[in-house]
C-alpha cells in the first residue's frame, strides 16, 4: 500500500497549475474551496465541479485541506452554533462527493507563525524561519501587547531590544507582514492590521488551553457523528509551532495532547494530520514514537523537517535533513500502511525556494522546485524502504 503522493494546490488561482503538477509525479491533489469565507457551507455542486476538474487531469482529490474553523467556534461565542451547523453540512456534502479525508486546525487567530520567509541557506536557496528574538521584538515593541514581558526571559527581552533597534522601517514592515501573513490560500497579503490583530487576540483573554480544548471537544461532539455518517475522516493539524505564542492557548502540540484528544473522542473519524515539521519544532517530541502510538488514527501526512538551535529558533530544513530522522519515520509509515492496509495521502510539506522559485511569487512555503525536490526525495525513500522490507 504505497502513499498517495500528493501536492497542495490552491485552486484555479494558484500560479502553479494542475498541468504543471502533472510533471511532479504526484497522483493526488490536496486542496480546499478557498473561495468560500470561513464558516460558510460549501455547496455540493461546487465541490463536485472542483473534483471533476481535478480528475480531468488524472488526479484524485486525496485530502481536503482545510475546512477552516471560524474563530467564533474556537472561542465558542457569537455565531458558533450556526457555523458548526454549516460545518456539518459541508462534511455531508464532501461525503456525497466521495471525499473522505478532511484536515483542519484549531490554532487561535493565526495559522502557522514564522518571523522570516526569506531565510537564506548556505547554498543560496531560501527557507522559512522562526527566531525568538525577532518574534519577541514584534510582540514587545511593535504590537506592544499588554503583559507580553511576562512571556520572555530578561535575557531574551534584551536580545529582542537589540534586534528591534537595528531594524529599519522596511525591515519592521517585513516583520509585521510575516507575522500577520494571510493564511495559506486566502490570497490577501495579510488579514490583519495591528489594531484588528490586537482585537482578535483579546478574544482569547479568558481562554486558556483547557478551555480551548473544551471548545474543541464541544465542536467535535457535534461534528463527529455527522462525519461518521458521511464517511469522512477528520484529521486535526498540530499547532505550528507547537508551543504557545502571544499568550494564546494551544491544543495539539505534544503526545499528551493527542492522547487526551483520542481518549476524549474515541471515534476513528476523529484523527490526526501527522505533520512531521510542526511536531519536530519541539525537541521533546519523539516523532517515530508518536507515529507508533497514534498511527491508527492518522489519516493524512505532511512530511518535512526542521533544524532547531540551542535557543529554540528553527528553520525548515531539507526534507531528508534537519532533526527529523526521515528514514526511521518513513519506515514507520510503510509499516503502518501495511498494518492498516491503507494508502495514506502524503504531501511534502513546504519546500525551499530554489532555482527558478527565487524569481516566482508563490505562497510562502509552497514553491514549485523546492517542493518537487521534497516530493522526489520522499518518494524515493518510500520506494527503497518498501522494497527492502
Ligand atoms: C502550512 C500548513 C497549514 C495547514 C493548516 C491546516 O503550510 O500545513 O497551513 O494547512 O494549518 O488546517
Domain map of the chain by residue range? 4-112+205-388, 116-200
The tens digit of pLDDT for each residue in 37-65 reads 999 999 999 999 999 999 999 999 999 99
What's the chain's average pLDDT? 96
Q: Which of 14, 349, 357, 363 is catalytic?
A: 349
Between CA 250 and CA 207 the distance in angstroms is 10
pLDDT of residue 361 exceeding 90: no
Between CA 158 and CA 144 the distance in angstroms is 15
Q: Which of 233, 237, 319, 352 is catalytic?
A: 237
Q: Which ligand 1 atom is nearest residue 366's CA?
A: 7
The tens digit of pLDDT for each residue in 96-144 reads 999 999 999 999 999 889 999 999 999 999 999 999 999 999 999 999 9
Query: Residue 188's pLDDT band (boundaries 50, 70, 90)?
Result: low
299 is catalytic: no
Ligand 1: residues with CB < 6 A are 65-66, 103-105, 111-112, 184, 237, 302, 349-350, 365
On whether the CB atoms of residues 201 and 109 are closer than 8 A, the answer is: yes
Residue 24 to residues 18, 19, 59, 62, 368, Cα–Cα distance (Å)? 10, 10, 12, 16, 9
Query: Residue 193's pLDDT band (boundaries 50, 70, 90)?
Result: confident
Between CA 120 and CA 280 the distance in angstroms is 21
311 is catalytic: no
In 3D, which of 216, 190, 209, 77 has the Cα closest to residue 138?
190
Query: Residue 189's pLDDT band (boundaries 50, 70, 90)?
Result: very low
In CATH terms, the superfamily for domain 4-112+205-388 is Divalent-metal-dependent TIM barrel enzymes (3.20.20.150)
Which is it for strands 298-303 and 270-275: parallel, antiparallel or unpaired?
A: parallel
- Distance (angstroms) between ligand 1 centre and the Cα of 237 equals 7
Cell output for 231: 464517511
The tens digit of pLDDT for each residue in 283-332 reads 999 999 999 999 999 999 999 999 999 999 999 999 999 999 999 999 99
Between CA 126 and CA 137 the distance in angstroms is 22
* Share of residues in the chain with pLDDT > 90 (%): 94
Amino acid at each position: 500500500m504505497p502513499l498517495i503522493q500528493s501536492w497542495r494546490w490552491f485552486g484555479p488561482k494558484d500560479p502553479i497549475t494542475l498541468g504543471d503538477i502533472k510533471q511532479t509525479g504526484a497522483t493526488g491533489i490536496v486542496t480546499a474551496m478557498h473561495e468560500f469565507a470561513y464558516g460558510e457551507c460549501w455547496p455540493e455542486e461546487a465541490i463536485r465541479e472542483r473534483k471533476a476538474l481535478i480528475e480531468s487531469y488524472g488526479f484524485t482529490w486525496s485530502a481536503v485541506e482545510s475546512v477552516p474553523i471560524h474563530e467564533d467556534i474556537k472561542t465558542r461565542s457569537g455565531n458558533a452554533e450556526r457555523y458548526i451547523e454549516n460545518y456539518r453540512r459541508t462534511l455531508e456534502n464532501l461525503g456525497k462527493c466521495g471525499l473522505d479525508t478532511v484536515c483542519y486546525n484549531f490554532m487561535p487567530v493565526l495559522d502557522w507563525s514564522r518571523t522570516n520567509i526569506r531565510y537564506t541557506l548556505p547554498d543560496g536557496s531560501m527557507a522559512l524561519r522562526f527566531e525568538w528574538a525577532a518574534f519577541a521584538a514584534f510582540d514587545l515593541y511593535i504590537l506592544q501587547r499588554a503583559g507580553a514581558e511576562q512571556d520572555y526571559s530578561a535575557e531574551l527581552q534584551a536580545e529582542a531590544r537589540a534586534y528591534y533597534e537595528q531594524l529599519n522601517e522596511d525591515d519592521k514592515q517585513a516583520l509585521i507582514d510575516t507575522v500577520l501573513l494571510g493564511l495559506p490560500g486566502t490570497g490577501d497579503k495579510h488579514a490583519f492590521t495591528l489594531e484588528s490583530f490586537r482585537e482578535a487576540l483579546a478574544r482569547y483573554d479568558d481562554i486558556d488551553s483547557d478551555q480551548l480544548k473544551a471548545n474543541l471537544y464541544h465542536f467535535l461532539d457535534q461534528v463527529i457523528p455527522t462525519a461518521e455518517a458521511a464517511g469522512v475522516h477528520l484529521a486535526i493539524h498540530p499547532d505550528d509551532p507547537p508551543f504557545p505564542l502571544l499568550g494564546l492557548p494551544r491544543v495539539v502540540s505534544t503526545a499528551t495532547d493527542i492522547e487526551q484528544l483520542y481518549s476524549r473522542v474515541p471515534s476513528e473519524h476523529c484523527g490526526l494530520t501527522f505533520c512531521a515539521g510542526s511536531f519536530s519544532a519541539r525537541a521533546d517530541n519523539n516523532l517515530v514514537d508518536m507515529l507508533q502510538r497514534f498511527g491508527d488514527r492518522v489519516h493524512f501526512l505532511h512530511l518535512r523537517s526542521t533544524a532547531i538551535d540551542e535557543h529554540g529558533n528553527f528553520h525548515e530544513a531539507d526534507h531528508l535533513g534537519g532533526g527529523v530522522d526521515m528514514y526511521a519515520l518513513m519506515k514507520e509509515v510503510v509499516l503502518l500502511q501495511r498494518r492498516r492496509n491503507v494508502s495514506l495521502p502524503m504531501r511534502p510539506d513546504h519546500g525551499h525556494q530554489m532555482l527558478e522559485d527565487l524569481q516566482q511569487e508563490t505562497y510562502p512555503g509552497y514553491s514549485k522546485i523546492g517542493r518537487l525536490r521534497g516530493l522526489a526525495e520522499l518518494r524515493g525513500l518510500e520506494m527503497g524502504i518498501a522494497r527492502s522490507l
